[in-house]
Amino acid sequence: MKFGVLKDIKVGEYRVIATPAEVSMIASDGHEVYVQRGAGEGSGFSDEAYAAEGAKLVDTKEEIYGECDFVAKVKEFEPSEYGLLRENQIVFTCIHPAAHSEEVQALLDSKCIAFTAEDSHRYGSPNCEAAGKQGALMGLDSLLAIHGGKGKFVNGLGGAPGIKALVLGGGIVGKSVASVLHSLGAWVTVMDINIGTLREIGKQFNEEVNTQISNRYNIKKLLPEIDVVYNCVKWPKDAKEFLIDREMVRSMEKGSVIVDISNDVGAIETFHETTHDNPRYIEEGVVHYCVSNIPGAIAQSTSIAYAASVLPHFRSIMKNGVAGACERDGYLRRSLTTYKGFLTHEETSAIQGRPWIRPEDVLQIADRRLDPAPPATGTKSGNFIQM
């Protein structure tokens, strides 16, 4: 099979989906590997390093899409790529399909086979860990007076107290935020809707962080004394109210900070997405940091960890075929988004009102002994395609 590594073109994105290490292993499996020139430059991997591991270097994305059976990248497809997708071509990237209807339509129209990477991780995405850990530091940076923040130091100075931070969500992102803040001496509260998760967090940090059930009452009560809020909640796209509304933002002291790591529209009323080039804005006197691809700032570390985590998927697909790989790995199966013109992603069906078909049905493997995996989200859709 011909496997292609694209250079990501999202603004402020420096990561790469495969490093020379992964290229070496894919090539050793007997596949041809094509790498777009400059694909690894932003994360510290030279074209020469890829060539030394057997990759064929090409100049343009058009050559990758035109030549390769299997194409991979880090972030969503841009409009300039829609027309390059081909029927039966396998593509793997972070699609975030439920939030991108035009992108989904392009995938369906092309009749390609698309996997959305964020749903494929059995042990959680390294990108989540990276977003949490680096996001924690971005919040501290945003708190500096030179950015419009209060000008408080994380663990204080002699006679001056340190910061109070609120982490919303106790998943991989939230735990990663808390780990950095706790190690630096901040006063940390973590909120989650699952008391079991909160108990785990208490044990993880030797009961040195505060935990509370996440609800609007508790958040509203605590916000006026919080210096930095980190939103790490995967907010339901069909939610009818904000987790933090404008009035709640207004209750925070001037120069406080909100870091929206999750970047889900509808969670925080004052949110709008920003980029690394212009990462902050001030609304209601509060500094907002809302960059959607925080891990891109630590591109080399994230690329190494992320590429290693998705390599088994790549090798399995190329060895066993799409159906065989999805039979063997339920997390890969649930990440199948479109298949030859059919939508196979339940959340996208529910949010966009599109009919869908289960991956195991369209792949005709429902009668096999499938590796199990929990649903990627709690969003359900009974809007099935009638076959």
What is the per-residue pLDDT across 143-158, written as a single tens digit (0 to 9) for each? Answer: 999 999 999 999 999 9
Of 67-71, 168-172, 376-380, least confident by mean pLDDT is 376-380
CA dihedral 219, 221, 226, 231 (to 10 degrees): 10
What is the mean pLDDT of the segment spanning 257-271?
Answer: 94
Residue 70: per-residue pLDDT: 98
- Please say if the pLDDT value at position 238 is more than 80: no
Residue with tokens 């250079």: 7
> In sequence order, what are the beta bridge partners of 280?
289
| Per-residue pLDDT reduced to its tens digit, 83-112 | 999 999 999 999 999 989 999 999 999 999
Report the mean per-residue pLDDT for the chain: 96
Distance (Å, whole) CA 269 – CA 244: 6
- Quick check: is 272 catalytic? no
Rg (CA), the chain: 22
- Please say if the pLDDT value at position 239 is more than 90: no
Residue 310: per-residue pLDDT: 98
Distance (Å, whole) CA 121 – CA 116: 10
- Quick check: is 121 catalytic? no
What is the mean pLDDT of the segment spanning 205-220?
Answer: 97
Residue 118: per-residue pLDDT: 95
Distance (Å, whole) CA 38 – CA 188: 41
| Per-residue pLDDT reduced to its tens digit, 347-375 | 999 999 999 999 999 999 999 999 999 99
The neighbour count for residue 146, using CB atoms within 10 Å, is 7
State the pLDDT confidence band at 78, using cuts at 50, 70 and 90: very high
Percent of the chain exceeding pLDDT 90 equals 95
Long-range contacts of 19-22 (CB under 8 A, 24+ apart): 19/43, 19/45, 19/303, 19/304, 19/307, 20/45, 20/49, 20/50, 20/52, 20/53, 20/55, 21/53, 21/304, 21/307, 21/308, 22/307, 22/308, 22/311, 22/314
Residue 334: per-residue pLDDT: 98
Task: Tell me the whole-structure pTM to 2 decimals.
Answer: 0.91
Answer for the pair 295, 130: CB distance below 8 angstroms, yes or no.
yes
Top-confidence residue, 269 or 236 = 269
> In sequence order, what are the beta bridge partners of 210?
189
Percent of the chain exceeding pLDDT 70 equals 100
Residue 378: per-residue pLDDT: 86
State the pLDDT confidence band at 265, using cuts at 50, 70 and 90: confident
Domains by residue range for the chain, with CATH: 1-118+297-361 (3.40.50.720), 127-294 (3.40.50.720)
- Please say if the pLDDT value at position 237 is more than 80: no
Residue 114: per-residue pLDDT: 98
Residue 264: per-residue pLDDT: 85
| Per-residue pLDDT reduced to its tens digit, 32-42 | 999 999 999 99
The neighbour count for residue 385, using CB atoms within 10 Å, is 15
Answer for the pair 55, 26: CB distance below 8 angstroms, yes or no.
no
Residue 386: per-residue pLDDT: 79
264, 288, 313, 329: which one is catalytic?
264
31, 96, 121, 182: which one is catalytic?
96
> In sequence order, what are the beta bridge partners of 116?
93
Answer for the pair 8, 74: CB distance below 8 angstroms, yes or no.
yes
Answer for the pair 1, 70: CB distance below 8 angstroms, yes or no.
yes
SS3 242: coil
